Amino acid sequence: MIVGILLAAGQASRFGSNKLIQPWGSRGEPVLVHSLLALKAACDQVLVVVGQHNQADLTPCIEPHGCAWTVAPDAHLGMGHSLAHGIARSPACTGWLIGLADMPAVNVSTTVQLAEALKEGHSIVVPVMNQQRGNPVGFLATHKAALMQLTGDEGARRLVQTHAAQVHRVDVQDPGIHHDIDRVEDLNRPVQSSA
């Protein structure tokens, strides 16, 4: 079983308000919902990690899609804390596909390919376009202890670097793996590949 962990506990300090509930794309659904549905399409279950500051705003976006959520009490200390919390609260599984809630443009085909690579036994999987790694990133359960020890704002990047020999690159044609929403103007920024 592959569990999707969607990290949605950030402070959105550069945006100025809760960016995850802003409408995005042609359907006008919240940024969070786009990110959630891309993970849900590829994973057996999805767990959304929220913060105490945004729980009330986000849970109405999560619950209609049948996904679980959990509040990371130390989310203000950085993404690593949120990720470790999500791993600790997720059910027993083969591995995790870890997505970022502020990346709504990731294609379903990308999440499906990454989940399939985990099911094939690849230890760490990353999507790559134009020689650049993106998100989401997948880990087999053998990395559980290391993931649960993450702290700070670096997320799992150091773990990927430390175990570079175990990283399986999945080539995709999906500029969404590099497209995140940080500022208000990003809501209307075209999704395009980075050179």
- Looking at residue 45, its pLDDT comes to 97
pTM of the model: 0.94
- Looking at residue 35, its pLDDT comes to 97
- Looking at residue 11, its pLDDT comes to 76
Q: Residue 189 pairs with which residues in a beta bridge?
A: none
CATH 3.55.40.10 for domain 2-184: no
Where helices occur in the chain by DSSP H, the ranges are: 31-40, 55-62, 79-89, 108-119, 144-148, 157-162
Q: Is 29 helix (H, G, I), strand (E, B) or coil?
A: strand
Q: What share of the chain is helix, strand, coil (3-state, %, to 5)?
A: 40, 25, 40
Q: Smallest Cα–Cα separation from 62: which of 82, 45, 76?
A: 45
Contact criterion met (CB below 8 Å) for 77 and 9: no
Residue ranges, the chain, pLDDT below 70: 12-14, 16, 193-195
Digit-coded pLDDT (tens) for 174-185: 999 999 998 888
